[in-house]
Amino acid sequence: MASRDNDKQPDAVSSVMKVFGILQALGEERDHGITELSQRVMMSKSTVYRFLQTMKSLGYVAQEGESEKYSLTLKLFELGAHALQNVDLIRSADVEMRELSRQTKETIHLGALEEDSIVYIHKIDSLYNLRMYSRIGRRNPLHSTAIGKVLLAWRERAEVNDILREVEFRRSTANTIVNAQALLPVLDQVRQQGFGEDNEEQEAGIRCLAVPVFDRFGVVIAGMSLSFPTVRFSEPAKKEYVAMLHRAARKVSEQMGYYDYPF
């Protein structure tokens, strides 16, 4: 049960605590009226009503007709399901990424789409002293990374256009793609050849190769990449690097329930 001491917290913290107090109360019993909720979470009815209307507009709470009865929707369940999917994905990918690391000694990343960026959700560091800097949870651009190109390439063009409208095409190096018109044909090529490349586009001196990982519905949910300092990158060996990535990503995709890996 929420405490009136919450009102002593800074406004933003207090508001968050109130929201979660209401969500918790709704989660414990299916239907609640404003009066009952107000008493349960120890807030005024006007405050409860205001928060409920906001949560309703965001799709987290449903109202029964014109009544005062409110209940949770499945949107929170969907968020939890996405989180669980990432946990399962990381667990499955870790084995294959460690094997790739053993074979190549290079940095291995697993990245997922987050709004207009990629987020690294798992990483195995290079076994060499000379390595790239990155960390789990770090965001990177879609347009200048191999994983970013992979995450876009298998999406419908309308969705890609919507995503790219929010992207700031910041130039990181002389090789960075700087607009959507230049990026779109590259995405077509990525899908056709089955892998994406970062040719010193995000960071000078770093090359990356990435391939898709699919969920059970055949949707690309992540990209898996190998990153090399240019001094260790071998163009003749690129085909084998891509094949190794495909073998790893195929196994992870199968563990996620997808058995028709296209490469």
Question: pLDDT at residue 173 above 60?
Answer: yes
Q: Provide, rounded to the nearest whole percent, the portion of the chain with pLDDT above 90.
A: 48
Each residue's pLDDT tens digit, 98-142: 999 999 999 999 999 988 889 999 999 887 765 556 667 778 999
3-state secondary structure of 97: helix
Most confident of 13-17, 19-23, 74-78, 177-181: 177-181
Cα separation of 185 and 191, whole Å?
10
243-249 — which CB contacts under 8 Å span 24+ positions?
244/100, 244/103, 244/104, 245/100, 245/195, 245/209, 245/210, 245/211, 246/194, 246/195, 246/211, 248/93, 248/96, 248/97, 248/99, 248/100, 248/224, 249/96, 249/211, 249/212, 249/213, 249/224
pLDDT of 2 higher than 70: no
The pLDDT value recorded for residue 133 is 61
Strand partners, 225: 109, 210
Segment 149-161 shows an average pLDDT of: 95
Residue-wise pLDDT for 185-236, tens only, equals 999 999 999 999 999 999 999 999 999 999 988 999 999 999 989 988 888 8
What torsion, rounded to 10 degrees, do the Cα atoms 98, 101, 103, 104 define?
Answer: 170
Structure confidence at residue 31 (pLDDT): 67
Res 249 pLDDT > 60: yes
Instruction: Write down the pTM of the prediction.
Output: 0.68
Mean pLDDT of all residues belonging to the chain: 86
Percent of the chain with pLDDT over 70: 87
pLDDT at residue 22 is higher than 90: no
